[in-house]
Structure 1
């Protein structure tokens, strides 16, 4: 049977401290562990039986008083667990004969709980899981204490920074910053502000760019005791963002061009572009119009619509509300070219207006000046035009003060300017000045896809103009596709207008087919005439050559491979005398 002494021995053998208090919170009992525990903390425990519990347990005793008044404790089921700065304590009711007689306070050191917890399998599993998460994170993680000393770095951070965690543990981030291992420290900022901070960090060693967020951790007393820095590699994100931005800009550019084409579809006044070649021309013109190219050269055969395209460029750019002045250089005599282009002052020359005259360049202002047939400008006019383009200013006749050239210049010609420069008929330096931006307009025979839209547009315009309802059939459209249209769009425009005005029938097929047929016959006749003339020229040249090396008509016949009478007849037809010793 267990005696009272045995029970006391059992309590003294317990590793944790036990203190019993009565209903008035006076000390009833302390076991050996309690005496040692309290003695080490400077508490007087000798002869404390019967003393007030506040003397040895100043934190727990007030809670005991409060607990003793509760129904749970009176029923023997209450329990309070709490902790002080240096210990944990548990308060349970002390029951005797089924009645509340006081309370038992059990005390334990915190490190003892930690040791016990560390030995628990659940704790070990939890620690393993946390370490696995720490090392498996794709984001880099730095953990530092309240002084900035590095406690740990995960595997991802080692790779991102090109460092070894073992060499950095225990080092202060201030030292790393001073040594240049990092260009900035989010941990330092968190320690200074005690708030979450985010920075962009460039790692020289690996060439990576990191988005680093530092977060402070506080204990239950509100003191900062840890800083956790999370690193995310944004190098690839920046590259992706740049690629996306480039794609976005390209998409916007295409969208603007498509919107521009759609918007101008009804404003371009006859510029049809169903063919790929003509669409490329329009896209180029739109780009040059938006870039405000100051000098532009349009090349193309007569009738391809160079003037129409010049107006299209003007209307497509930011100067669309400014003047558009067109001048046919071929219609200006050399003597009037400078006066018309640059203007003149009062009394500049005989016959000049009393008030002087504003030149076309000045009249264009900051709009567009279209120089059509620029290949017809005389050499002296070319020199003056080149000077104005180079210096971006011009001098009116009779004036000593130059005027600024503010307008854009669009020049056009159907001539081969390169061949003209080789023949010394066009200044090479002016050609290079004009051809900085060049647009070549394909002839109608090279863009058959535009024919249907052109015919439809021309019929619509002329029907509205003359109050008619003329049309053509698909069969005749096939005929038009075979016609070469040497006069290009201008010829087609005249043909459709002639049919709408002159034909009495609603369907223009037969009338237009007759017109095309007569044009084709005329062209064939002209071609045949040209061929005959070419053959005659070659024949005459060969006869003259044979006469120079042969001594008679028989020898000429053998030399040329024809009969002697034929030689005599051809010599007579070309008016060439036979050889001196002719037979």
Structure 2
């Protein structure tokens, strides 16, 4: 009778249970396990080697049986197989290790476990040991709602002792405030299996409880078996994951907003025919949602702003806009920034890993600025990513799909770099499916007045000034070559609004645009050759500072190395631009 009762209880448990002896021979299993493992009946399953039905779990079972922890009854092994979680725990009978219990469950039902058992002398003792060895809590009530049995795990989860619970009715248990709701009471009323979350007042745990009715041969409800699973940590983890997703999404939006700020603050000025033609082509490409657009143009012509314009007018405008400056990221960090990395991928990596920019750009646009400066070691990996539309983070093994439009920009002659084998030809063709070339400012003089006026209004408002441009100022601006293009014009107006003494900027422009050449002609008289060379070098550095934002750009502008730029700036006491 006791054996049948415990077998009934095992059959009511919502997860699969398989029992093996110390030789890893199957000695029992419940009905759920028969279904999971596709066995016809218990008779054909009992007595076979565990390897036949549990090939993944069996090595862990053997390892556990050989451990001191299992022999003391304290061991526990939790692993994930191909489709199921399994948990292995020792089966202790009268102080001896008699085998193991393996419980199996699908992740979708918050189940992780299983229990390991071993040999037995008496089947009733074995089933009782299984009942007590389960890491899930088990309550049993009779048909009248009186608690008849609870296992040790249930004592721990609920913070109670068997002696204080067994013999009490479910109503009495609820009245004590131990639980907020009773799944047993629901099953007794509705006579069907019911699952619900219970909050345990005493321990603060949250339990996923599944109550299963057991009917006798006459169809009367004879008992209710409740399986309790502690899901407190799983629910906490779910909440943490939800919060992490919200933070990631917020970060993506904030990065996109910051990237698009330049476009919002200064719309693309288009007075000249050349720029209007360029914008017409750009808007067509944006609407087609094409990838592989290469933006060409000198430094400071507005390539990054055009990339943002392409994103803003594309079907992906509501998605993120992420960018990387290939000249600004050290080669050793480039791959991690682009593709991200998993936990422990390299020394100094974040404990939680890090999502790469390509992953964050999912559903939006990814902009490769200064692509001509991309390290050669990364070019092959990016090419593979574009071809296969997927990438694998550093230290990872599972590829991630890429779902973003890729736009690249450079002020270099990529075809010349390809011929010199400084840039991969195949990657050049992938990035150069469509080309948009932005003309330099000296070739679009019609735009200078509109741009200068826009910048003047912006900085007057920012600094609380009232500077104005006269016709003379405009002529000087239109006659200047602007080697730094729009960026140089922007910097020139910004500095004039901030530091010029007069409201009309004529004198400031004369000093800034014309004074350098005149000073050079006059002041070299009577100087040594070295002094004259130093003066020319200083003026060239000043011109580069006005045209460029970084020392890397200055190096490209002056056609010298970046360390040389830094050294010369220090030599003449000039700060970086």
TM range (shorter): 0.3 to 0.5
Greater radius of gyration (CA): 1
TM-score of the superposed pair, with normalisation by structure 1: 0.44
